[in-house]
Amino acid sequence: MENQYYPKKVEELAQRYWETHKTFKAIEDPNKEKYYCLSMFPYPSGNLHVGHVRNYTIGDVLSRFQRMQGKNVLQPIGWDAFGLPAENAALERKIPPAKWTYQNITHMKQQFKQIGLGYDWDREIATCRPEYYRWEQWLFIKLYEKGLVYKKKSIVNWDPVDQTVLANEQVISGRGWRSGALVERREIPQWFFKITAYADELLKSLDTLTEWPESVCTMQRNWIGRSKGICADFDVKDRTESIEIFTTCPDTLCGVTYLALAPEHPLSIEMAEKDPVLAEFLKECKNVKVAEAEIATLEKKGIDTGLKAINPINNDSVPIWVANYVLGEYGSGAVMGVPAHDDRDYEFAKKYQLSIKQVLEPLEEDESIVDLSKAAFTGKGRLINSGPYNGLNFEQAFNTFVKVLQDKNKGRSEIHFRLRDWGVSRQRYWGTPIPMIHCPSCGTVPVPEKDLPVLLPEEIHFEGVGSPLKKMPEFYETTCPICSEKAERETDTFDTFMESSWYYARFACPDQNQKMFDERVNYWLPVDQYIGGIEHAILHLLYARFFHKAMRDLGLLKSDEPFTRLLTQGMVLKDGAKMSKSKGNTVDPKNLIETYGADTLRLFLMFAAHPELSLEWSDSGVEGAFRFLKRLWTRTFEHIDGKRQSPKIPEINKENFTEIQKSMRRLCHETIRKATDDVGRRHTFNTAIAAMMELMNALGKFAVETEIDYAIAQETLESVILMLSPIAPHMTHALWNALGYSGAIVDAPWPVIDKSALITETLDMVIQVNGKVRAQITVPIKADEETLKQLALNHENVKRHIQGKTVRKVIVVPTKLINVVVA
Ligand SMILES: [Zn+2]
């Protein structure tokens, strides 16, 4: 072994060892405690960036640490391989998405291995492979049979030039990103998952996820958005139908001065037939697909339909408007307008001179001044101007109005969720084909199980205008499984969030080709530690949780939640900005690995910041990490040099060690105690590394003169190398063998704390004179009260302060202070 540290050589040797020994192959063992660690699998974009390296190193450090704790560790990896970038690349480079994707996977796999990530490569998954997506198609059909999948018309962004549906991110200022054409709203039939059927459970079981960041749980709660309110039916004057509205502020029902309908509401459409101005307005609304978040900033516009509605509580007659801020997809597509107590309604009423009627006054303790000429009053209040209901508070009004409405058969109390069903149809090529057949006589029919998978053709001609599948009769022409007549396949593919919603479970049994999962899924699940970016806090995690519960209810697995513990890692910044190609501030991990080795990069990324916080890139930080590893390397070889190798710490009489020897051992075992907690529980790798660096500094000052000194130095080096091995696995692999061990460090246990080394024999105490600190002394831990009093009174500084005075008493507060009281 070299006395010089050559990272490239060291890393290749370690990687070869792991590969030939199949070190990271996970085998189910019911007698061993399992630990399933998963980092969110990457999209195979082609090149690894530093953010990836950070993410995957965190998972690797935790996996290796838990392995050293004796756990049976599973750490798999795969590729979230479907998606839009492959189609874009195909257009730019004239290469089919499949080919581009597989090339990238091959390349990135090489990069992953260079970083020394301990993956079980036998479990590798690529979601674009039929052996994976066939089970997704199978699951979709099972959930369809269970009533959790349905089809309905839904609005999409339509590019009239490219004749294609655009994803939201492909619409830039209302125009298609490629064609520049004005995007239109179009209604087309699409498939939906009834995720709302699980809204209640998805919300309630967030309470069981105590090991998730609270911020993520809050985001999920807000997204699901449970609210309790009242549904009320407003009759339409001189017509037979009524309009249903839902409100979470039913105490303001007497303050309704208008109703607003969505442009898509059937009544809006009907009225537009006779009203060209309204028809023009509906057309205008149709051109913008409004995301919910944009509603707040949208300029509010509306048209009076001329119709009147009757308030079921007080029989007031109010105008019915059509307004652009009401979403047709949400609820009943109609809302009540209470300008006096709602900011948005206030803005609308002011603009169109609608009346504003105050029905709440502030509670006694509320000092708000209500001035409806300036703004709405949106605080809590007591009812006024509400006839027989005056004086009621919110709770009383809620209960009273529910009863009034129920008696009239015009409403009820309801729980609503903000969460909406998950639309999974994508009018794209590079995705999982939706396994449905359209038969002219039998309607929509699922593909029979025996005919799965519906294969996505990989050799295609990709032009970017529409999906190639729509132009491939060999794909879409088929026969109906029921009547055997000519029929057509669905040419839409699944949202790529589908593949990432169940991959974590498939890793338990990726080679199972008879069914989706087998009993191994219950051995490994739930995932003990999940790691990924905060940008996935809502949708990915929510969809995966939904799939997990739906799969549980199909009897496919047993647990209730997929991920027990979640770590959301921070971003990697350079000069305070997120690294990106467009900013030209990226750092290529490849060059760094060439220069310093993967261990240096891993050490820097784990040392530079707490894993959940942003990390500022620093070239000098990288060099610092490299220098530390070099020092450890050199120190280890100096230690071995010319001396008998001693793989075992000799049995020695610890009682007779000198103070210097004892304090060296104490620091070593304090560091083990700290690193164990920092890595295993707190996940603060940075503070663990800092403690190891301090220990190495102390070792640098520790003179090795005797056999005992040598044994202590050996123990310290071994401990540092073991504790550092999850972070810098290659160089510690080499050093472990250099220290005389024949096995691999990856199979060695984590260092054990020697409690006897931690015992302190002296302690520091403060001496006060009349309550003022006058001195500090180091005393033997076993010193009795009389000895302590004498020590205090004989201290030089204390003597000065008590000179010429009478000592009244000396108070000893054990282990803390001695107070001399004088007069
Ligand atoms: Zn048929």
What are 768-816's pLDDT values in tens digits? Answer: 999 899 998 888 777 888 889 988 998 989 999 998 899 999 999 888 8
CA–CA distance from 679 to each of 50, 439, 727 (Å)? 21, 58, 10
How far does residue 205's CA lie from ligand 1's centre (Å)?
42
pLDDT tier at 66, thresholds 50, 70, 90: very high
Q: What does the pLDDT read at residue 507? A: 98
Calculate the average pLDDT of the chain.
92
Residue 495 alpha carbon to ligand 1 centre in Å:
27
**Distance from Cα 432 to the centre of ligand 1, integer Å:** 23
CA of 446 to the centre of ligand 1 (A): 11
Q: Which residues surround ligand 1, an ion (CB under 5 A)?
A: 439, 441-442, 480, 482-483
489 Cα to the center of ligand 1, angstroms: 12
For residue 242, the one-letter residue type is S
Expressed in angstroms and rounded, the spacing between residue 137 Cα and the centre of ligand 1 is: 20
* Region of poorest pLDDT, from 310-314, 408-412, 763-767: 763-767
> Which of the two residues, 785 and 121, has the higher pLDDT score?
121
Quote the ligand 1 centre to 13 CA distance (angstroms). 62
Per-residue exposure over 297-325, b if at least 16 CB sit within 10 Å of its own CB, e if not: eeebbbbbbebbbbbbbbebebbbbbbbb
Per-residue pLDDT band at 740 (split at 50, 70, 90): confident
| Mean pLDDT across 288-303 | 71
Tokens describing residue 182: 């004005």
Report CA(496)–ligand 1 centroid distance (Å): 30
pLDDT tens readout for residues 264-277: 899 999 999 999 99
Q: According to the model, what pLDDT value does residue 2 have? A: 63
Specify the pairing of strand 72-74 against strand 34-39. Answer: parallel
Residue 190 Cα to ligand 1 middle (Å): 20
Which pLDDT does position 649 carry in this prediction? 58
Tell me, in angstroms, the distance from the centre of ligand 1 to residue 165's CA.
29
Ligand 1 centre distance from Cα of residue 440 (Å): 7
Tell how far the Cα of 362 is from the centroid of ligand 1, in angstroms.
65
Distance 794 CA to ligand 1 centre (A): 105
Q: What is the mean pLDDT of residues 646-655?
A: 63
- In tens, the pLDDT along 532-573 reads 998 888 899 999 999 999 999 999 999 999 999 999 999 999
pLDDT (tens digit per residue) in 503-532: 999 999 999 999 999 999 999 999 999 999
Q: Tens digits of per-residue pLDDT, 668-690?
A: 999 999 999 999 999 999 999 99
Q: Compute how many other C-beta atoms are within 10 angstroms of the C-beta atom of residue 451.
A: 13
Cβ contact 179:162 at 8 Å? yes
Contacts of 712 (CB under 8 A, 6+ apart): 661, 664, 665, 668, 702
What spacing in Å lies between the alpha carbon of 445 and ligand 1's midpoint?
8
Three-class DSSP category at 477: strand
Q: What is the reported pLDDT for 667? A: 96
Average pLDDT over residues 713-739: 96
Q: How remote is the CA of residue 491 from the centroid of ligand 1, in Å?
A: 18
pLDDT the model gives residue 692: 98
**In whole angstroms, what is the distance from residue 793 CA to residue 775 CA?**
11
Q: How deeply is 290 buried, as exposed, middle or buried, from its count of CB atoms within 10 A (0-12, 13-18, 19+)?
A: middle
473 C-alpha to center of ligand 1: Å? 18
Q: Could you read off the pLDDT of 401-419 as tens digits, one per residue?
A: 999 999 999 999 999 998 9
pLDDT for 327 beyond 90: no
- From the list 730, 732, 752, the residue with the least C-alpha distance to 741 is 732
> What 8-state DSSP symbol labels residue 501?
G
Q: What is the mean pLDDT of residues 57-71?
A: 98
Distance 633 CA to ligand 1 centre (A): 73
Per-residue three-class SS string for 624-686: HHHHHHHHHHHHHHHHHCCCCCCCCCCCCCHHHCCHHHHHHHHHHHHHHHHHHHHHHHHCCHH
For 377, the token pair is 């009053």
Question: Residue range 359-363: average pLDDT?
Answer: 93
134-160: average pLDDT = 94
Q: How far is the CA of 444 from the centre of ligand 1 (A)?
A: 9
* pLDDT reported for residue 757: 87
| Rg, C-alpha atoms of the chain | 35
Q: What is the pLDDT of residue 560?
A: 98
CA of 756 to the centre of ligand 1 (A): 80
How much distance in Å is there from the Cα of 152 to the middle of ligand 1? 20
Provide mean pLDDT across the span 177-188: 84
User: Taking residues 30-53, what's their average pLDDT?
Assistant: 94
Q: Stretch 458-470: mean pLDDT, rounded? A: 84
Residue 662 backbone dihedrals phi, psi, to 5 degrees: -60, -40
> Mean of the pLDDT values across residues 46-66?
94
**Contact (CB, 8 A) for 165 and 156:** yes
Cα of 749 from ligand 1 centre, angstroms:
63
Q: Is the pLDDT of residue 766 over 80?
A: yes
- The per-residue pLDDT for 557 is 97
Question: What pLDDT does 642 receive?
Answer: 56
| CA 145 / ligand 1 centre spacing (Å) | 18
Query: pLDDT for 203-251, tens place per residue?
Result: 999 999 999 999 999 999 999 999 999 999 999 999 999 999 999 999 9
pLDDT at 291: 56
User: How many A from CA of 192 to the centre of ligand 1?
Assistant: 23
Does the pLDDT value for residue 492 go beyond 70? yes
In which band, very low, low, confident or very high, does the pLDDT at 650 lie, cut at 50, 70 and 90?
low
The predicted pLDDT at position 284 comes to 84
Q: What is the mean pLDDT of residues 489-495?
A: 96
Q: Measure 146 CA to ligand 1 centroid, in angstroms.
A: 21
CA of 209 to the centre of ligand 1 (A): 47
Ligand 1 centroid distance, CA of 485 (Å): 6
Exposure string of 473-489, with b = 16+ CB inside 10 Å and e = fewer, is eebbebebbeeeeebbb
Residue 644 — very low, low, confident or very high, per pLDDT cuts 50/70/90?
A: low
Record the tokens describing residue 583, joined without a space: 């900013």
Cα(654) to ligand 1 centroid in Å equals 86
CA distance 101 to 82: 8
pLDDT tens figures, 418-459: 898 999 998 889 999 999 999 999 999 999 999 999 999 998
CA of 482 to the centre of ligand 1 (A): 5
pLDDT confidence band for 332 (50 / 70 / 90): confident
Going from the Cα of 200 to the center of ligand 1, the distance in angstroms, rounded, reads 38
Interval between CA 486 and ligand 1 midpoint (Å): 8
Residues 6+ apart with CB under 8 A from 250: 229, 230, 232, 397, 398, 401, 402
Q: Please say if the pLDDT value at position 170 is more than 80.
A: no
